[in-house]
Structures are given as structure tokens and as C-alpha cells.
Amino acid sequence: MEYQPSRREFNRGVAMTALLAIAGGKGNAQVEAMGPFTASPAEFDGKLTPARSPLSFDNGSEVKTPGDWLRRRVEIITNWNRILGPWPRIIQRPAADVLETIRRGDVLQHRVRIQIAPDQNCEGYLLLPKGIGPFPAVFVPYYDPETSVGLSANPLRDFAWQLALRGFVTLAIGSPGGDARKPVLSQPAICQPLSYLGYLAANAWQALAAMPEVDSARIGIVGHSYGGKWAMFGSCLWEKYACAAWSDPGIVFDETRESINYQEPWYLGKDPKVTRKPGLVREDSPRTGAYKTLVELGHDLHELHSLMAPRPFLVSGGEEDPPSRWSVLNHSIAVNRLLGVQDRVAMTNRATHTPTQESNEQIYRFFEYWLK
């Protein structure tokens, strides 16, 4: 049985999220502390990409009220699910087996086998902080889980480890099947691989929410690059994530950038009838799969971002997401404004694709702010 969220489910869930977000708004001092993250440079203030606004229905009519937005939200996710393909069923209580336990300073590290789909498991790490829970939690997807928990030679990508040191339960896993370019999808999954990663993020949320150490109302998600794309699709398509941080994933389709490669078959370009050459879209390597359909119909990732509203998200931008991306984020700001909230869309910027100490610290501050 394939999973397709019903209109009633989305309306009820989003309405509840909006009410909780408004009721639990931060005080003025806390908003001021987040100000540098949520203030766009003057040159991009209020500017929008030419793509159609999320606040416009498919028939061209305008979204004018929060009630209109709930209907428009269903329209957006229905369109994307139709193009990307439906998810398999969500696992209500994913199996989680502890394979090994060690203590690293104040952090208890479990190597675990987690059920990520009805017929698929993967190994990863569950980190438990010092203290008495329930704790806030963060799901950290990446190519491999070792990097996320600080067990590889790849620096500044150890989000799970650093957040555990700051009092978060963290769960880190890697690419399904072990190779990001050849993802292994559960059968009979028929969705695009990047949508499938979003599905895995939904099941990871289910796994964390079922743990007695975790406060299910305070679960976030973060990833860098490939993990940033995964975190973006996971948080946008699974509205139970309380907040999200995406590190330089490329938050808009941009066919001039090698790393913003949503056209690849391991992301959105999967087509069983066509094999494309990897790399930029060109005459001898055209658009394929769902990516081709999305572009031809005028869809872009700002529509997915809008599904976060009123939940907060941070873009930790580098080479792929420079300050000019505020013209993309302003679409989400407009949706939040309609819902009566502000300061829910944030971006920081650095010169490099690789994270820096400063950009990572901003991510950790973001989670401490929204989940603690």
C-alpha cells in the first residue's frame, strides 16, 4: 500500500502546527538574537524570483487568508507527489537494534541498525547526551554516518557529534545501499530517489519520536550538500519536523552550477527509458525524468520551501547558495507573513561550499534557539 497523505491529514496537521507556532512565539530578546540570521541584505529585501508565487493557486487566483493557504499547501504537495511519485507506507515504529555501545566522554554512542523502509535497514549511530531526558533531537543524513559523528578524517561535517555535545539526541545514517549515486530503493518504491530520501527522513523522525529519551515535539533535521538536499526534501515533505537547517544544497534549480545537479538520475532525473550523461544539462545530455517535467511545468524548489511555513528553517549558504538566494527565500517569508509569523526564514553565508567553524556554530545556535 502506497502512502499518499490525505487532504484532511494535511489540513489538520498544518493548522495545528500554525497554532502551536504562533502560541509559542519567541520573546523580543530572543528574536533580536536571531536577527542577523533573518535579515536579508537591503539589495535583496522584498525581491522575488520570477517563478510563480506559492501564494497563487493553479487556476491563477490569489491566496488571501490562512485558510486559503491550507488549500494551496495541499495543491502544492499533490502536484509534487504526482510528479515525483508516491511514497511507500510510513513505518509507525521502525525497528532499532543496538549493535555496539561505547562512551565518548559525556556522550553515549550506540551503533544501531535502523529500519528505514518496510523491507530495508541501514546501520548508523545514535548519540545520547549527558543528563536526564526527554531531550530535543536532530536527524543528520549524509553520505556515511561516520562523518556525521566525527569518526572520519572529513572535518566540519560532524553535526551529529557537535549537537550531542550540546545536549541533543542525534541519529546519523548514510546513503541507502551505501552509494549516493546508486541508491537502493525499497520495493515497490516508484518515487524519484531524492523524494525517497525524504521518505527515509520521515521514518527517521518516526524512529526518534518513539524513543523515550526524545521529546517528539522538538525534532529537527540538518545536512550538508547531498545531506542538505536530503534534509530539505525530508523537512519540506514531512511536516512533523519542527525545524530544519540545510547547508549549501542549492535551494533552487540552477543549471549553471555543477553541484546543483537535481537533473541527475540519483536525484530527480531518474527515467528507466533514458540514460543521460552525468553533468550539466546540455544538448547531448538533456533533462530527464521528473526533473524534466518539473522544469517544463514551471515548478521550482521555492514551492517546497513554502511547505515549511510556519516552521523555521535556516539555509547555511556557501558557493551554491549566496546572498542572492534571498530572492528565493522571500517567497517563504511572504507565506509566513500571511500566517501572521515572522523571523522563521534564515540564511547565513560563507565563501566556500565547505562548512566553516563559524557557519557550523550558527547552525548549532539555530537548533538551540528553536528546539531548546
pTM of the model: 0.92
Quote the CATH superfamily of domain 2-252+300-371.
Answer: Alpha/Beta hydrolase fold, catalytic domain (3.40.50.1820)
pLDDT of residue 34: 57
pLDDT in tens, 342-359: 999 999 999 999 999 999
322/320 Cα distance (integer angstroms): 6
Measured between alpha carbons, how far is residue 194 from residues 151, 204, 241 in Å?
26, 15, 17
Question: Distance between alpha carbon 216 and the CA centroid of its chain, in Å?
Answer: 17
Residue 42 carries which DSSP code? G
What's the burial of 151, exposed, middle or buried (CB within 10 Å: 0-12/13-18/19+)?
middle
324/335 Cα distance (integer angstroms): 19
Angle at 69 between CA 65 and CA 74, to 5 degrees: 155
In this predicted structure, the answer to whether residue 190 has a pLDDT above a threshold of 60 is yes
What three-state secondary structure class fits 306?
helix
pLDDT in tens, 257-315: 999 999 999 999 999 998 888 999 999 999 999 999 999 999 999 999 999 999 999 99
In this predicted structure, the answer to whether residue 20 has a pLDDT above a threshold of 70 is no
What strand order describes the sheet that includes 107-117?
A: 96-104, 107-117, 120-128, 169-173, 135-141, 214-224, 243-247, 313-317, 345-349
What are the domain boundaries of the chain? Answer: 2-252+300-371
